[in-house]
Amino acid sequence: MLLTEVVDSCPTSLVTVDRDERSVILLTGGSSLRMGMDKASLEFGGDTLLAFTLKQIPSEIPVVVVGESVDTWPEVTYTREDPPGAGPVAAIASGMEAVTTPEVLILAVDTPFALPRLLGWELAANSQALIPRDPSGKSQYLAGLYRSDSLRLALGQLGVPDNKSMRELTSHLQSVEHHNLSPKDAHDFVDLDTLEDLATARKLLARHPKVMP
């Protein structure tokens, strides 16, 4: 697999995105064992964590939520992995059935600050994915930009997606860019695994930009 390192020289800037080129798959159906409750329904920014994230997505971008449907967002396409709880790769496989755009953003609902950054990213001509990597070297596969056809091909090569890891899935991609995050930038990609994480994120909320429709 070809790995290309990239550096974000302007971490808070957003570029114009062709809305016909990109969809968002939002993963909300995880088990949330460490949090002890459904993350999507957590109070965040004056609303639920799900609503907070959906409000950041420009209205022209198609959105697929993999998880429980919510009546207040009828314009969103809802689906669910089968069986429920079969893991993020199975959830992505289900979500991809509704994607018709050349590119797709994959985002877990417990990463509330990543979306403005992701919307500003662009894939290089020969790249099949752009995935952030934190200062410890951990790849954050569930906050990345993927080429749709390449992701479908990788899913096909992987086989049955149930309980497979994102590392296994992305090993079938031929060209992956890794976006190396500085310690400061890593705050934008923090995920909320515990109540302590949630409390910290609420304190950080005021300093993070939002992208509204």
Looking at residue 149, its amino acid is: D
Looking at residue 107, its amino acid is: L
Domains and CATH numbers, the chain: 2-207 (3.90.550.10)
pLDDT tens per residue across span 101-158: 999 999 999 999 999 889 989 999 999 999 999 998 999 999 999 999 999 999 999 9
pLDDT tens per residue across span 36-88: 567 888 888 888 989 999 998 998 999 999 988 888 888 899 999 988 888 99
Evaluate whether 26 touches 66 at the Cβ level (below 8 Å). yes
Go through the chain and tell me how many residues it has.
213
Evaluate whether 46 touches 123 at the Cβ level (below 8 Å). no
Model pTM score:
0.85
Residue written as token pair 């990543």? 114
